[in-house]
Amino acid sequence: MAQIPDQTGGAVTPGGGGDTNGFLGNAIEIAIVTRDHLRTMEGLWRLGIGPWQVHTFSPENTANQTYRGEPSAFTMKVCFAQHGGMIWELMEPISGPTIFAEFLERQGEGIHHIAYDCNQIPFEERLAEFARRGFRLVQSGSWMGRNHFAFFETEAATTTCLETYIFPDGWEYPEPDEWYPPRTAVRPPEPTRLVERIRTNPDPYEPFHLSQGIRVGDLLFISGQAGYDDAAQIVAGGFDAQAERAFANLDRALHAGGSSLSDVVKVTIFLTDMGHFSKVVDLRRRHFTPPYPADTIVEVKGLYAPEAMIEIEAVAVVSAATRR
């Protein structure tokens, strides 16, 4: 991926953000506010985005409803569709005070907010960190009492509203009010591929006619990631530098497929010297979280480049957040 020079003469990678602690994490959802969710779904469906689940968020199924710091009941139609690694959401306010009704009155229909996963930190910590950075909570709730969501007053600073939400372990969607198109309808001519190729930019595998990763349903298979830089050259600095870069490359490939290091279920690590085993144990401890993935560590005579010392391949599930 091409790098953007920063004001000090260094460089930042697009998507890496300017905040060195990476608080926002990954963009996982883009949302449109509409006066007519059916019309908007139909238009996006013609562009290949869908199928759509249609739900009603109301005081009956959405607890802890707030508006600008005060308890406040609201009802709205909320529609979800998965498209690649991104969730598309439509919101049509029905009743009660909401920032979405305000948006329609002030600007009309259009893209209203982007949701971030905040690197999966606990929900209360996300709220506190937004507040610490000067961004006030303006709307929130808990769908089904468990899917907590929060919107923040970020427009003045960023021109866009930002959201974060979290799903509990074992979350299952309730049956939607309806599907669009109806389950019996025929999909448009462009079929959804059951197998999807995952690529980063740059993609070091392209010259070799290999896939950096393959997504099949909710499973993601990542090809071996070594300690190469964006020019596909092995980084200097010996094993330690290569190992850190290999994990960074693995993380980037996982995110390109809608997953993350915390979603890895199986990892295979190839070493040219098993003397580095203790370092690999420490790397796994730092980069993975409990329950740790199943693992195989293999010593090999050589890897694809003579100077390469480590290569990591992985199997992961697609993050729950990206399935919203």
Residues 6+ apart with CB under 8 A from 42: 180
Q: DSSP code of 14? A: T
Domain boundary among 154, 180, 206: 180
User: 311 lies in a domain?
Assistant: yes
- Residues 113, 199, single domain; the answer is no
Report the CATH number that the domain containing residue 224 is assigned in CATH.
3.30.1330.40
Strand ranges for 167-271 from DSSP E? 178-180, 195-198, 213-216, 219-226, 264-271
Domain that holds residue 60: 4-180
Residue 101 and residue 219 in one domain: no
Identify whether 189 is part of a domain. no
Q: Is residue 262 part of a domain?
A: yes
Say whether the peptide bond before residue 93 is cis (omega within 30 degrees of 0): no
Cβ count within 10 A of residue 101: 18
Contacts of 62 (CB under 8 A, 6+ apart): 141, 142, 143, 144
Q: Does some domain include residue 143? A: yes
For residue 210, what pLDDT is reported?
A: 79
- Domain annotation covers residue 186: no
Total of domains in the chain: 2
Residue 188 inside a domain? The answer is: no
The model's confidence at residue 16, banded by pLDDT at 50, 70 and 90, is very low
| Last residue in a domain, options 149, 180, 211 | 180
Distance (Å, whole) CA 246 – CA 262? 16
Residue ending a domain, choose from 155, 180, 205: 180
- For the chain, the farthest-separated pair of C-alpha atoms sits apart, in whole angstroms, at 67
Contact 223, 211 (CB under 8 A): yes
What is the helix (H) or strand (E) element at residue 122, kind and residue range? none
- Nearest in space to 166 (alpha carbons), one of 297, 294, 10, 29: 29
Q: What phi-psi label fits residue 102: left (phi over 0), alpha (psi between -120 and 50 degrees) or beta?
A: alpha
If asked whether residues 207 and 155 sit together in one domain, one would say no
Q: Do 172 and 26 reside in the same domain of the chain?
A: yes
**Is a pLDDT exceeding 80 seen at residue 136?**
yes
Domain assignment of residue 187, yes or no: no
The conformation of residue 29, written as its DSSP 8-state character, comes to E
pLDDT tens for each residue of 231-272: 888 899 999 999 999 999 899 989 888 889 999 999 999 999
170 with 207, same domain: the answer is no
**Share of the chain residues as helix, strand and coil, in percent rounded to the nearest 5:** 25, 35, 40
* Tokens, residue 22: 């990476």
Please, which pLDDT band fits residue 19 given cuts at 50, 70 and 90?
low
**pLDDT tens digits for range 142-160:** 999 999 999 999 999 999 9
160 and 22, same structural domain? yes
Q: Is the pLDDT of residue 186 over 50?
A: no
Cα separation, 215 vs 228, whole angstroms: 23
73 and 108 co-located in one domain: yes
Of the candidates 221, 138, 126, 194, the residue with the CA atom closest to the CA atom of residue 165: 126
Give the pLDDT of residue 125: 96
Q: Is pLDDT larger for residue 193 or for residue 168?
A: 168
**Residues 162-171: what's their mean pLDDT?**
92
The CATH number of residue 134's host domain is 3.10.180.10
**pLDDT > 90? residue 7:** no
Q: Please say whether the beta carbons of 225 and 244 come within 8 A.
A: no
**Average pLDDT for residues 71-76, to the nearest whole number?**
96
185, part of any domain: no
Q: Do 154 and 23 belong together in one domain?
A: yes
pLDDT mean over 63-91: 95
* 156 lies in the same domain as 9: yes
Q: Are residues 171 and 39 in the same domain?
A: yes
Task: For residues 31 and 140, state if they share a domain.
Answer: yes
Residues 208 and 155 grouped into a single domain: no
Torsion of CA 182, 184, 187, 193, to 10 degrees: 110
